[in-house]
């Protein structure tokens, strides 16, 4: 999809360089610049998206089990009655 923006930018620049009307040239140059920026953002988004890791593999099952055990231990320690303060 982002390659379509590159083609539209080239077409807009071609219109800008071929026309004799200054208003059409200004509109075409602005459109060409906008399409060029959209193409670059699309290209960057695609490249960043292809290099990201899957969120599922961030924690392996063993690490997840250890985290659950720690949370359970903290939960049980918080539920225990408080010790009497020393006098």
pLDDT tens figures, 43-71: 999 988 877 766 666 777 888 899 899 99
Asked if residue 31 lies in contact with residue 12, where contact means CB atoms within 8 angstroms, the answer is: yes
pTM score: 0.59
Angle at 6 (CA atoms; ends 1, 24), nearest 5 degrees: 125
Domain ranges within the chain, ordered by starting residue: 1-50
CB neighbourhood size of 20 (10 A):
6
Give the mean pLDDT of the chain.
Answer: 86
Q: Which of 8-17, 38-47, 73-82 has the lowest mean pLDDT?
A: 73-82
User: What pLDDT is attached to residue 85?
Assistant: 57
DSSP assigned state of 34? H
- Does the structure show a pLDDT above 80 at 38? yes
Q: Residue 70 has what pLDDT?
A: 92
Query: Around Cβ 38, how many Cβ atoms within 10 Å?
Result: 17
Q: How far apart are CA 73 and CA 23, in angstroms?
A: 72
pLDDT higher at 76 or 85: 76
- Nearest CA to 28 out of 38, 36, 17, 39 is that of 17
d(CA 6, CA 61): 44
């Amino acid at each position: 999809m982002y390659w379509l923006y590159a083609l539209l930018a080239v077409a807009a620049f071609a219109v800008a360089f071929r026309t004799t009307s200054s208003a059409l040239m200004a509109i075409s140059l602005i459109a060409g610049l906008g399409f060029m920026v959209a193409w670059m953002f699309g290209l960057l988004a695609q490249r960043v998206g292809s290099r990201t890791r899957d969120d599922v593999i961030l924690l392996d099952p063993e690490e997840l089990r250890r985290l659950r055990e720690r949370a359970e231990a903290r939960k049980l320690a918080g539920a225990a009655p408080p010790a009497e303060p020393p006098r």
